[in-house]
Amino acid sequence: MSANRTAAVFGAYGHTGRFVVAELARRGWSPILCGRDARKLEALGRDYPALPLRIAPVDDPAALDRALDGAVAVINCAGPFLDTATPVIEAALRARIAYLDVSAEQQSVLDTFERHADAAREAGIVVLPGMAFYGGLADLLATAATGDWPQVETIDVAVALDRWHPTAGTRLTGQRNHYRRRVVSDGRLADLANPPPLREWQFPAPFGTQAMVALPFSETITISRHLRVRELHSHLNRTAIEEVRSADTPAPVAVDAAGRSAQRFAIEVRVTHAGQARRAAATGQDIYAITAPLVVEALERIADGRGLGTGALAAGEAFDAEDFLTSLSPRVLERY
């Protein structure tokens, strides 16, 4: 257990980064505000005049080392993670501190596992990618639903959003990420079919029956690392996809003092095994905002010794999934 309550937030001035900084402060942590853009960092610093500001380009290892100095962990909120994950992980390895990120990008998370697992295990630190709404939340729900089943036939992840007004970071990631999306088919990672499969999903009110399109995120990579599953598929409702892909859709607008948008979400995970089915599901507000309590709760559990190992880990293997989800209810998530 570490008495150090200092955590570096890389990309602290971004939309999600600001939520993470606020959540750390709310829980009594001392964030170090880090990032690549001096102007944006200084603007954020005016809201947090007592916190240190550290500029660190990702192509400057010495600057990254200085940025992480004194921290027990770094939370990387700076996408595209295809560009930032490896240099920030390498800095965390040099400092021998935990690394967490909020990547929804399948390729960046896969690269993290393939490139850094051995080094993280040898250093005795946790490297935890994809600890966000897309990725970590579905992983925790799938792990909780799987429970004591040693292997399962299918895991289906379904997400419904009443709207998806994308941040600038979401749009930039979409432009940068040209990799084929992956599913699990016949027990192995495989490319998503083109065109992607369609289906309907019955959600509770206010969503009801939704037309869904196969659209997997980083949960495919994380879940397949630690759960034995023959078929793993993720779907998002069509209206949300149409909004996020439209150049005319505006950025999210805050509607409360916490800075959250009015967006509502529902996420369901269904798992089957030997003719039986289990479900874990939750609903809440603002997929960007909810990432903050997810990743900061993960950080706290790593720092206080409630993590379940070291090395490059997925959310469901790093923590007791049911206990983790329960800790977020009902303030952050409503389970149903």
Question: Could you say which architecture CATH assigns to the domain 6-132+291-320?
Answer: 3-Layer(aba) Sandwich (3.40)
Confidence at residue 2, expressed as pLDDT on a 0 to 100 scale: 61
Is the pLDDT at 318 greater than 70, yes or no?
Answer: yes
User: Mean pLDDT of all residues in the chain?
Assistant: 96
| Domain boundaries, given as residue ranges, for the chain | 6-132+291-320, 133-290+324-335
The more confident residue out of 4 and 145 is 145
How many other C-beta atoms lie within 10 A of the C-beta of residue 10? 30
Structure tokens at 174: 């979409």
pLDDT tens per residue, range 190-214: 999 999 999 999 999 999 999 999 9
For the segment 289-295, the average pLDDT, to the nearest whole number, is 98
Is the pLDDT at 1 greater than 60, yes or no?
Answer: no
pLDDT tens per residue, range 103-121: 999 999 999 999 999 999 9
Tell me 170's DSSP state.
H
DSSP secondary structure string for all residues of 194-261:
SSPPEEEEEPPTTT-EEEEEE---THHHHHHHHS-EEEEEEEEEHHHHHHHH-TTPPPP---STT---
Fold of the domain built from segment(s) 133-290+324-335? Dihydrodipicolinate Reductase; domain 2 (3.30.360)
Is the pLDDT at 176 greater than 90, yes or no?
Answer: no
Confidence at residue 258, expressed as pLDDT on a 0 to 100 scale: 94
Q: How confident is the model at residue 219 (pLDDT cuts 50, 70, 90)?
A: very high
Distances (CA, A) of 46 to 28, 42, 43, 178: 19, 7, 5, 37
For the segment 25-33, the average pLDDT, to the nearest whole number, is 97
Confidence at residue 174, expressed as pLDDT on a 0 to 100 scale: 85
Confidence at residue 3, expressed as pLDDT on a 0 to 100 scale: 78
For residues 79 and 46, what is the distance between their CA atoms, to the nearest angstrom?
23
Give me the percent of the chain exceeding a pLDDT of 70: 99
Distances (CA, A) of 50 to 42, 53, 66, 176: 12, 10, 18, 35
